[in-house]
Amino acid sequence: MNPTQMLSPAAVARAAERIGPYARRTPLLDLELDGRRVLLKLEHLQRSGSFKFRGAVNAVLEAGAAGPVVAASGGNHGLAVAEAARLLGVPATVYVPESAPVAKTSRIEAAGARLVQHGARFAEAAVAAREAADRAGHRFLHAYEDPIVIAGQGTLAAEVVAQAPGADAIVVAAGGGGLAAGTVLGAGGRTVVAVEPEGCRCLHDALAAGGPVDSSVDSVAASALGATRVGDLAFGVLSGAGVRSVLVGDDQLVAARDRLWEECRIAVEPAGAAGFAAWLAGLVPGRRPCVVLCGANAEWTAG
């Protein structure tokens, strides 16, 4: 089957059934702040500390008895693959750039995966990982250019719809586009807003150019949102659905992260606060939006 044909709400429903025994059903928080109300999807409480576990466990389950898996990651996807592989008893190797945070690489190794640090950027690590997987006959699990991974990420949006049918917009961080594309598939026609740092804007640049293009990466959230090019599959879904990219600055990301801690004692990494930063800035549409707090894999102190 063509990968594009595998991207559908039905694929998300199948993924939800498959990953149900492994993924957590993360809670919603109805928050009133500055005279406005917003729903927060606390996905940073997911196994492995981010939404990435949904797509990773769906992909590892799909691989089945195909043998060991190999992944490349700025940190969160690798950690998710390592955790999924540990749960399912599958050997895993994770390639990360040399800039990957210790808070993430140490947990990848603690989960039992073999860790390989290669290159300065995610793209370099990804090339090395794919070459290694081809040589060894392993299954390569892409962080976002994989319909099985995208369908797994879409279970998050389907869960939001089930928990809060009145939510009229779902706000997610973009990165390579896997979560945003999955959200479109699982959102039941609701508005989807993708948020990117000003220094990691591959979706924004792709939408402006009419197709995926290479973009620079320079942001405090680069370890999680530092894709240099949006995925082709994700772009097809997002451009077809009319999803727009909203940009926020690093100062806004840090301020949003700190505000979550100060107001709610919620600790997320800067990328995890991207949607909340956009909401604070008044860039989110809808009367009852849901902002996804997508990850918490960083060491930090507020202030």
Q: Are 89 and 215 contained in the same domain? A: no
Q: Are 20 and 136 contained in the same domain? A: no
| Cα–Cα distances in angstroms (integers) from residue 302 to residues 67, 157, 255, 266, 267, in the given order | 42, 29, 9, 11, 9
Sign for the pseudo-dihedral over CA of 96, 243, 3, 232: negative
pLDDT at 62: 85
- Domain CATH number, residue 170: 3.40.50.1100
pLDDT at 1: 61
Owning domain of residue 73: 53-141
Q: Judge whether 300 lies within some domain.
A: no
Q: Are 151 and 219 contained in the same domain? A: yes
Domain-ending residue, one of 84, 113, 141: 141
Q: Are 84 and 229 contained in the same domain? A: no
- In the chain, the number of structural domains is 2
Q: Are 158 and 280 contained in the same domain? A: yes
Q: Judge whether 29 lies within some domain.
A: yes
Mean pLDDT by 10 residues, the chain (303 residues): 79 96 97 95 95 95 78 86 93 89 87 92 86 84 93 98 97 95 97 96 96 94 88 96 95 97 95 97 95 81 46
Query: What tokens were used for 88?
Result: 């399912």
Q: Judge whether 216 lies within some domain.
A: yes
pLDDT at 23: 97
Q: Are 169 and 108 contained in the same domain? A: no
Q: Are 260 and 165 contained in the same domain? A: yes
pLDDT at 302: 45
Residue with tokens 């940073």: 44
Q: Judge whether 114 lies within some domain.
A: yes
Q: What are the helix (H) ranges across 142-272?
A: 147-163, 178-186, 202-209, 222-225, 232-240, 250-264
d(CA 260, CA 267): 7
pLDDT at 197: 96
**This prediction's pTM:** 0.92
Q: Judge whether 244 lies within some domain.
A: yes
